[in-house]
Every structure is written in structure tokens, then in C-alpha cells.
């Protein structure tokens, strides 16, 4: 994913929501607008995962959906992310004050699962977003590191392509790592039948 800063002027989160063009890929990081442009393999993986989850939801008659442009607002009022894959629980959307007008989520209970696909900005996924998603209470967070470029303290040494699944247990994320032909184990969606190699 290519990141580019758009404006030297810092924005509040409200200003960002009013400014953000429709069908665009922007995030707000501590008041700085960042343009997000995924590369080919990144898009391939996010598309594959979105289809797999959509099929699972239909087969199991689950009341979840996968928005394409929804923003996740974190506790820092001037930060909002556009996840690569975002699972939303339709049953709690009425509690989301920014959903109808801005397609923005503010509560962890609205988001059973979020997925970020790692690219050159890997520190955002392993450090910043990990902390922020934990703080707002998102139940499950996947970091899909298909290039194996995350820090060795996160994916081990030697570095290998890895999927890290963080589950919120007693208010803190606990992590499990999956590599090669290992079957993914999602606590939120245990019916999911995928291996790491299928995803990569």
C-alpha cells in the first residue's frame, strides 16, 4: 500500500468527515490526512477474504456485512482508519451516532472483526492500529503479513509470511500466529475453513 500525506493543515475528525470525497481511500492519523493506495497483491488478498466472509455469512445466515468505505473512529478524536476488511454487526448499528450520515463506526461492539493487510507501513498495523483497535474493544483483529516484513518481535526470526490473529480477552489482545498450510482459527468465526496458503 502506498501512503501519501494530502494536506499540511491538521484536521479535526469532524472536518475530515465533511471533507472526505465519496468512494475515496483516505485515513486520518492524528489530524493528518493520508491517502491509501493498495497495490495488486494487497487488493487480491482483501478481495479474497471479503468473498470468503460474505459466503460464510450467507451460508450461516449471519447478520453481518462488509462495507467498502466505512471509517473506524478510534478514541483519539482526530484519528480514523479505513480497514482492508471490516465486518459489521447490523444489529447494533442503531447505536452508532455517525453511521447513517458518514458511514463511520465508533464502538467496538459494532465490529466483530477487522483485518489489516501489511505493506510498507507495517508499524501502523502492528503498533498503532493494534493499540487503537484494542482500546475501542474490537473483538478480533487480523494482521495479514503476506510479505513477512513486520518486525521480528512480531512475526519471529527468520521472518516468514504470517497471519497474526488477536482476540480480545479480558480487555487485552492475546495473539496466535499462523503460517504456511496451517488452518486459520478464528474465535469469532470458527466455521471459517481457510489455510494461510489459500489466503496468500
* Count of structural domains within the chain: 1
The pLDDT score that the predictor gives to residue 89 is: 98
**Residue 151 to residue 51: CA distance in whole angstroms:** 29
| Residue 24 is assigned to a structural domain of this protein | no
Cβ within 8 Å of residue 136, ≥6 positions away? 72, 74, 75, 106, 107, 108
The pLDDT score that the predictor gives to residue 96 is: 97
Can you give the residue range of the structural domain that contains 141? 40-198
pLDDT in tens, the chain (200 residues): 444 455 568 999 999 999 998 878 899 999 999 988 778 899 999 999 999 999 999 999 999 999 999 999 999 779 999 999 999 999 999 999 999 999 999 999 999 999 999 988 899 999 999 999 999 999 999 999 999 999 999 999 999 999 999 999 999 999 999 999 999 999 999 999 999 999 99
| Residue 58 is assigned to a structural domain of this protein | yes
CB 7 within 8 A of CB 29: no
Query: Which CATH number characterizes residue 127's domain?
Result: 3.90.1570.10
Edge-to-edge strands of the sheet including 32-37? 2-5, 32-37, 26-29, 80-81, 71-73, 104-105
| Residue 80 is assigned to a structural domain of this protein | yes
What predicted TM-score, i.e. pTM, was given to this entire model?
0.93
CB 120 within 8 A of CB 112: no
| Residue 87 is assigned to a structural domain of this protein | yes
**Residues written for the chain:** 200
| Residue 29 is assigned to a structural domain of this protein | no
Amino acid at each position: 500500500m502506498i501512503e501519501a500525506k494530502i494536506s499540511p493543515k491538521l484536521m479535526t475528525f469532524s472536518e475530515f468527515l465533511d471533507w472526505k470525497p465519496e468512494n475515496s481511500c483516505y485515513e486520518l492519523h492524528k489530524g493528518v490526512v493520508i491517502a491509501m493506495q493498495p497495490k495488486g497483491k494487497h487488493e487480491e488478498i482483501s478481495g479474497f477474504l471479503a468473498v470468503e466472509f460474505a459466503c460464510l455469512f450467507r451460508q450461516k445466515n449471519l447478520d453481518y456485512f462488509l462495507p467498502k468505505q466505512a471509517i473506524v473512529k478510534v478514541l483519539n478524536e482526530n484519528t480514523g482508519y479505513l480497514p482492508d476488511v471490516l465486518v459489521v454487526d447490523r444489529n447494533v448499528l442503531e447505536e452508532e451516532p455517525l453511521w447513517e450520515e458518514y458511514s463511520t463506526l465508533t464502538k467496538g461492539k459494532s465490529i466483530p472483526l477487522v483485518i489489516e493487510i501489511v505493506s510498507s507501513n507495517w508499524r501502523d498495523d502492528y503498533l498503532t492500529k493494534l493499540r487503537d483497535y484494542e482500546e475501542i474493544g474490537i473483538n478480533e483483529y487480523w494482521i495479514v503479513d503476506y510479505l513477512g516484513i513486520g518486525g521480528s518481535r512480531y512475526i519471529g526470526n527468520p521472518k516468514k509470511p504470517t497471519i497474526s490473529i488477536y482476540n480480545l480477552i479480558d480487555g487485552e489482545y492475546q495473539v496466535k500466529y499462523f503460517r504456511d498450510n496451517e488452518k486459520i482459527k478464528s474465535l469469532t468465526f470458527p466455521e471459517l475453513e481457510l489455510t494461510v496458503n489459500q489466503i496468500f
